[in-house]
Structure 1
Amino acid sequence: MLNQQNMKIFTQSWRPNSTLQLKGIVAMVHGYNSESSWFFELTAVAIAKTGFLVCAIDLQGHGSSDGLPGHIPNIVPIVCDCIQFFDSIKVDHPKLPAFIYGESLGGAIAILVCLKQKRDWNGLILNGSTGGISAKFKPTWPLEKLLPVAAFLAPIWKIVISKLLASKSYKEWKRKLVVKNPNRKASGKPPMATALELLRVSEYIRRHCHELEVTMLMVHGEDDVVCDYRSARFIYESAASEDKRLKIFPSMWHQLIGEPKENMELVYGFILS
């Protein structure tokens, strides 16, 4: 689709077998350095097989969408892209319940969508959501303090973080597979402007998550060193949602799809149920 900035944004959707009656819509938002295909698509297909119409976009600077690789100087246009596409799906199915699902940064974006569209969603599912970046992956001192100046002077210059995200997100053979994604644009080093925006988004969510009223399910790995589970707990406890649940999985990492088979089946069985 063409977004409000006249950029080409890649979109796709998955439908269940035609003999199944649609149960609802699940709009999915991937995380930083990811896309709507590859690993993320495994979750989309699994949800579609249970009877849901699933849709997703590639964020700006990711996958097949326009934009500089991994460059997110402002999250607002990306939130608008999601709303534009997801609304186009919902308008064709006005009677179906609609749920929004986000992983990592996609979880933060899903929260921002729900804050903007307070009564337009029947449920919010957050998987390893960004609500606060782990100290291990924040820019080192004094760079964090100088980040606003650095982002202004060199917005696309890439900042070194401790380790590549894949090395602390995916277990076993899956970390090698994610790096081999032929459509992967960004590396594990976010540009200066992106790093600053991620910190801003995390702080904004901490200040406004009490406004969330949507039915909410949160899942998180206890050993997630990218997005700390304690930040997820803060969002859960702060949200005004009457129906909410948080599940912390012991010994699991940031990307729950990257866990061994038995862990993965436990997590996604819990989400689907």
Structure 2
Amino acid sequence: MVISMAAIEPITLHHPLRRISVIRFGTPLNRWRLSTSAVVVAAARKAIEGVSDELNAAAAENMDFAPARRRVRAAFADVQSGLDHFLFKTAPTGIPMEERYQTNSRGVEIFWKRWHPKPGTITKASLFFCHGYGDTCTFFFEGIAKKIADAGYAVFAMDYPGFGLSQGLHGYIPSFDGMVDQVIEQYAAIKAMEGVKELQHFLLGQSMGGAVALKMHFKQPEEWDGILLVAPMSKIAEEVTPPAPVLKALSLLSYVLPEAKLFPQKDLGDLAFRDPMKRKMAEFNVISYSDQMRLRTAVELIKATRDVESQLEKVSSLNLYYQHILY
């Protein structure tokens, strides 16, 4: 098992598949403050420049539940494919793709997608993606997945419950471990498929997805042939950690108002992208969760990060390499 981690700086990861460049997507959790106005309704989504009033109206829909997110994603499909971003413009063509919905043992309908190498190409290995908190398994990752598939690897990705096109309250994580268990279940089903079970299996985790991937490794230390981590959520900096009394109050409130949203929260796009143009491009991923963080979600992310940090000694090996920016 080889696990490469980048906690602060951009790095290059070396692993059995290939050499890749990655960049930090930003701190996993923002500065917190507890206020009497912490419980708020969904903030109005700002208009996206360059799209019609009709599409902006669609993007402004309440996307708490999956049917609305699926409608909005379909409405923006043509616009997204024509965006002026190198991940879209340089993505290889002719890559076989498939999208599926699959109901898991908890009755949750999970969206997942796969990208295959071109016909006639020998598949070298399989790669399973774990996305970040303010992200989905499609959009920007589409271009990355196509490039990896074009290099001869089968790529699989899923939206967690409550994220992207999967069922569940948008942006809500009632239990981080419970979410990880559902990722394990879905990816175990895929790994058992014909044409996949014969391959080596690798995890790719980005930001919060890095914590998901590490938790999967801790739960299944022998099930993966390697893990690639892009700015994993593995430690909270002291300056963004809420004071102990505030953290205790948040934890208690999360049992009373678990779905309530925290107020305020810095725009995730400001954290993820330094370039204003790239930040504007991210706005087109309209089904990603960009509202204030839900109370229970915030508490679960803090607990998960502390748990991951406390178990890092279990990681099989650690390699750090500085490199240029991918995005």
| TM-score category (smaller protein) | 0.7 to 0.9
Equivalent position of 2:285 in the other structure: 181
For 1:157-200, what per-residue CA distance to the aligned partner results, in whole angstroms no more than 9, with x for missing partners?
Answer: 1113551111121132111121222322x224211100000010
For 1:65-112, what per-residue CA distance to the aligned partner results, in whole angstroms no more than 9, with x for missing partners?
Answer: 111111002012221222122222222323311100000010100001
Is residue 202 of structure 1 aligned with residue 305 of structure 2?
Answer: yes
Once the two structures are aligned, what percentage of the paired residues are identical? 29
**Paired residue total:** 223
Aligned partner (choices 48, 71, 75) of residue 176 of structure 2 = 75
| CA distance in structure 1 between the partners assigned to 2:267 and 2:243 by the alignment | 15
| CA distance in structure 1 between the partners assigned to 2:294 and 2:221 by the alignment | 31
| CA positional deviation for 1:206 | 1.4
| CA positional deviation for 1:33 | 1.9
Aligned to 1:247, the other structure's residue is in SS state: coil
Aligned partner (choices 250, 255, 268) of residue 152 of structure 1 = 255
| CA distance in structure 2 between the partners assigned to 1:8 and 1:94 by the alignment | 23
* RMSD value, Cα: 1.9
TM-score (norm 1): 0.76
Aligned to 1:205, the other structure's residue is in SS state: helix
For 1:199-231, what per-residue CA distance to the aligned partner results, in whole angstroms no more than 9, with x for missing partners?
Answer: 100111112222222xxxxxxxxxxxxxxxxxx
For 1:91-149, what per-residue CA distance to the aligned partner results, in whole angstroms no more than 9, with x for missing partners?
Answer: 23233111000000101000011111111111100001001234555457753331111
Contact 1:137 1:162 in 2 (8 A): no
Unpaired stretches in structure 2, ≥5 consecutive residues? 1-101
Contact 2:114 2:154 in 1 (8 A): yes
Structure 1 pair 62/197, CA: closer, same or farther in 2 (3 Å)? same
Structure 1 pair 141/179, CA: closer, same or farther in 2 (3 Å)? farther
Unpaired stretches in structure 1, ≥5 consecutive residues? 214-240, 250-261, 266-273
Is residue 116 of structure 1 aligned with residue 240 of structure 2?
Answer: no
Equivalent position of 2:235 in the other structure: 132
| CA distance in structure 1 between the partners assigned to 2:210 and 2:190 by the alignment | 20
Q: Which moved more, 1:42-51 or 1:57-66?
A: 42-51
Equivalent position of 2:56 in the other structure: none
Is residue 264 of structure 1 aligned with residue 264 of structure 2?
Answer: no
1:182 counterpart letter in structure 2: V
Aligned to 1:68, the other structure's residue is in SS state: coil
| CA positional deviation for 1:41 | 2.1
1:85 counterpart letter in structure 2: Q
Contact 1:139 1:159 in 2 (8 A): no
Query: Relative contact order, CA 8 A, sep 6+: which one is greater?
Result: 2
1:48 counterpart letter in structure 2: A
Is residue 88 of structure 1 aligned with residue 189 of structure 2?
Answer: yes
| CA distance in structure 2 between the partners assigned to 1:164 and 1:138 by the alignment | 18
| CA distance in structure 1 between the partners assigned to 2:322 and 2:170 by the alignment | 32
Structure 1 pair 190/140, CA: closer, same or farther in 2 (3 Å)? farther
Contact 2:265 2:292 in 1 (8 A): no
TM-score (norm 2): 0.64
Aligned to 2:258, the other structure's residue is in SS state: coil
Indicate the structure with greater helix content.
1
